Chain A
Amino acid sequence: NPAFFRSTLPVLPLLLVLSPVNASSCAMGNRTTEIRVKYENILSHDINELVNMSAEDRDKCCKNKINGNIKVFFCNDTEEIESLQSMACNMLRFYKKQRISKAFREKAAFVSCGTLQVLQCKCRTKKEK
């Protein structure tokens, strides 16, 4: 009956709209205290080590300053978690860059994964995964 298909056809788009959308790859809820204590006791020490290591290889990291991916690392107001998630996922992209020292890449990957773990976020693109 063509009337049946006309009546059920909009259901699927409607269900797709109504179905739970995985818009945010981070866990929901107010986890400010948990994030803060994990950052202060664990993550901050690793970030400091990464900063010290990057200071030694400053020129290598910013070799191409004109076409530098500065926009990759940004922090929007009121979107701290999303900004941190984006930074961590973008930093994972440097893991395979052979120009950078292996120790630095491993440390950067460790900090990225730790950040995502603290935020309980995931990277969206398959490449970042």
Chain B
Amino acid sequence: LLSMAQPGTVLSVFAMVLHTALGESGCTSADGDGTLGDDEPDNFDIDCFSQLEIKDSFSSLTCNFTELPPYNTNYTLLLCTKEDNNYACSNMKKREDVFFIQFIDILSNRDVCMYSEMKRRVCRSLVVTDIVKPEVPFAINITYEREANEYLIRYCTPHSRKKYLKDKLVHQVAYRQKEGTWKTIESPYLQIKLLGQNLENEASYEVKVRSQPNGYYFKGTWSEWSTSKSFRTAREQHSTENYSSVVMVILSILGFMLSLAMIALIVVFWENRIKPAVWPNLPDHKKTLEQLCKKPKNNFDTSFNPESFGYVHIHKVDGLWAKAELENFLQPSTAPETSLPEKFRSGSDLKMIPAMADKTNLNLPVSYEALHRLLGTSQRAATEGSCSSSTYEVCHSKRVPQHNDGFSLSSTCPLDPSGQPHPDPLNDNTVSQMLPNSDMRSPNNEEAYVTMSNFYKIQ
């Protein structure tokens, strides 16, 4: 008997211990999922969503039946939490066709149980953080950036001021032209940009926004759409205005650079080119004549001093005389001392006297070469003493000049040492007209001077 009692006692004790152990582990139900279901299938369809921090620290759960139970069935929904093998349940409030409840703990695993009169209790497990439905965005603001031709759309969400869903949402912006097709853009930020080139010009558009958990920890569904906001796009000429403004800027820069270049050029060429062209220097007639005339040789005395022409016959030309009178003027003249014009009786005349005494050596300027020719080449042959090419001797010759065919002052150009020919050559008539005054000593002092202007007149 003892041998048969020992195994029985051990088995009974073992069974008792096994029941206790299974009870501590929580596996008391036949289905094995830990719920306290009454072994009945959870065959009720409900759709639930949670809203975190809906009011201060409270979160909410909202459920509705996708398949309504029989009309005449009284039922209630409960939100339950398992605690030490017991369910701690709270009734959900019924609002029209939905059931609503608020709670604080979002960490615990929850069960939604339907309690009806027909069945005791049917439960379905849910995770509050996996069925989150964010709150609706608000305050949509649209700003047009003219320079970039972009439309900046900004909006707000209530979760920006809360703990759990801050920076854990993704936002969807929908826009369309009036009565057109909706287009959507998603962004984790609270603003997006629409390119103006992708929109119609001068058209009316409509914008709305909604939010959803980003899925890293919190999961759920889209919130409701926000209130729509309308705006009107700008005209196309803004792009052309930008283009024209760019062109104006470029032209302004080029104009400025050209102005600087002009100023620099004016400063550089002012003295050498601009000023002489705008205000030319009036030529000095004396200097001009000196430039026109050939430079005399070293042994030439170029002088306009009247005293140098003491022995030169000064012929005053009063008019055009006939050739027949030419001989009259070639008669030997009286002593020149008594017929000296008054001019030579000045202080400078003293210089002339010794020069006049020396008839053989009388240096006359080259410009009076023509005068010499006027007196005739025979005078050269008839003169006594040396008559070099560089000296002129006044010979009181009686012979008529042999030049009957006239001569031209222009061939040698005595009045123009540069060698330029004169356009008006003299002929005999002109010479004869000149000769009457050849030996005539002008009684006037002014007429005794041979000026350059007289030579120009002769020409």
**B13 contacts the other chain (CB 8 A):** yes
Q: Are B107 and A118 in contact (CB under 8 A)?
A: yes
Inter-chain contacts of B10 with A (CB < 8 A): 11
A113 and B217 in contact, given A1-B2, A19-B20, A20-B21 (Cβ under 8 angstroms): no
CA distance A90 to B84 in the complex (A): 20
**Contact residues, B1-57 vs A (CB, 8 A):** 2, 5-6, 9-10, 13-14, 17, 20-21, 24, 57
Q: Are B6 and A41 in contact (CB under 8 A)?
A: no
Q: Are A110 and B20 in contact (CB under 8 A)?
A: no
CA distance A38 to B107 in the complex (A): 8
CA distance A38 to B217 in the complex (A): 9
**Contact residues, A1-21 vs B (CB, 8 A):** 1, 3-4, 7-8, 11-12, 15, 19-20
Which of A1, A20, A43, A122 is within 8 Å of B107, CB to CB?
Answer: A43
Q: Are A42 and B106 in contact (CB under 8 A)?
A: yes
Query: What's the least CB distance linking A72 to chain B, in Å?
Result: 23
Q: Are A41 and B217 in contact (CB under 8 A)?
A: yes
Main secondary structure of the interface of A (DSSP, over half): helix
Q: Name A38's closest neighbour in chain B (CB-CB).
A: B107
Query: What's the least CB distance linking A108 to chain B, in Å?
Result: 13
A41 and B164 in contact, given A4-B2, A20-B24, A114-B107 (Cβ under 8 angstroms): yes
CA distance A117 to B107 in the complex (A): 7
**B105 contacts the other chain (CB 8 A):** yes
Q: Are A4 and B5 in contact (CB under 8 A)?
A: yes
**A45 contacts the other chain (CB 8 A):** yes
Inter-chain contacts of A69 with B (CB < 8 A): none
Which of B5, B13, B108 is within 8 Å of A12, CB to CB?
Answer: B13
Inter-chain contacts of B106 with A (CB < 8 A): 42
Q: Are A8 and B21 in contact (CB under 8 A)?
A: no
CA distance A19 to B57 in the complex (A): 43
A45 and B164 in contact, given A4-B5, A15-B17, A22-B24 (Cβ under 8 angstroms): yes
**B218 contacts the other chain (CB 8 A):** yes
Inter-chain contacts of A51 with B (CB < 8 A): none
**A62 contacts the other chain (CB 8 A):** no
Query: What's the least CB distance linking B400 to chain A, in Å?
Result: 143
A42 and B164 in contact, given A11-B13, A113-B105 (Cβ under 8 angstroms): yes
Q: Are B104 and A110 in contact (CB under 8 A)?
A: yes
**A37 contacts the other chain (CB 8 A):** yes
A117 and B24 in contact, given A1-B2, A41-B218, A42-B164 (Cβ under 8 angstroms): no
Q: Are B104 and A37 in contact (CB under 8 A)?
A: no
**Contact residues, A25-66 vs B (CB, 8 A):** 37-38, 40-43, 45-46, 49
Q: Name B217's closest neighbour in chain A (CB-CB).
A: A41
Inter-chain contacts of A20 with B (CB < 8 A): 21, 24
CA distance A110 to B6 in the complex (A): 53
CA distance A38 to B20 in the complex (A): 32
CA distance A46 to B56 in the complex (A): 13
Q: Name B163's closest neighbour in chain A (CB-CB).
A: A45
CA distance A122 to B10 in the complex (A): 33
Inter-chain contacts of B5 with A (CB < 8 A): 4
Inter-chain contacts of B129 with A (CB < 8 A): 41-42
A3 and B2 in contact, given A19-B21, A20-B21 (Cβ under 8 angstroms): yes
CA distance A90 to B68 in the complex (A): 47
| Centre residue among B6, B14, B163, B168 by max chain A CB count within 10 A | B163
Inter-chain contacts of A114 with B (CB < 8 A): 105, 107
Q: Are B6 and A117 in contact (CB under 8 A)?
A: no
Q: Are B2 and A8 in contact (CB under 8 A)?
A: no
Query: What's the least CB distance linking A126 to chain B, in Å?
Result: 12
Query: What's the least CB distance linking B131 to chain A, in Å?
Result: 15
CA distance A19 to B25 in the complex (A): 13
**Contact residues, B368-413 vs A (CB, 8 A):** none
Inter-chain contacts of B13 with A (CB < 8 A): 11-12, 15
Inter-chain contacts of A1 with B (CB < 8 A): 2
Q: Are B164 and A19 in contact (CB under 8 A)?
A: no
Inter-chain contacts of B105 with A (CB < 8 A): 110, 113-114, 117
Inter-chain contacts of A15 with B (CB < 8 A): 13-14, 17
Inter-chain contacts of A110 with B (CB < 8 A): 57, 104-105
CA distance A22 to B14 in the complex (A): 18
Inter-chain contacts of B6 with A (CB < 8 A): 4, 7-8
Inter-chain contacts of A122 with B (CB < 8 A): 84
Inter-chain contacts of A117 with B (CB < 8 A): 105, 107-108
**Binary per-residue interface labels of chain B (51-93) against chain A in the complex, 1 for a CB within 8 Å, 0 otherwise:** 0000001000000000000000000000000001000000000
Query: What's the least CB distance linking B119 to chain A, in Å?
Result: 30
Inter-chain contacts of B24 with A (CB < 8 A): 20, 22
CA distance A37 to B2 in the complex (A): 59
Inter-chain contacts of A19 with B (CB < 8 A): 17, 20-21
Residues of B that sit less than 8 Å from A by CB: 2, 5-6, 9-10, 13-14, 17, 20-21, 24, 57, 84, 104-108, 129, 163-164, 168, 217-218
What 15 additional pairs, Cβ within 8 angstroms, besides A4-B2, A41-B168, A45-B163?
A4-B5, A4-B6, A8-B6, A11-B9, A11-B13, A12-B13, A38-B107, A41-B218, A42-B107, A43-B107, A45-B164, A49-B163, A110-B104, A114-B107, A122-B84
Please name the 8 residue pairs, one residue from A and one from B, whose CB atoms are nearest each other, closest first: A45-B163, A41-B217, A117-B107, A20-B21, A19-B17, A4-B2, A114-B107, A117-B108
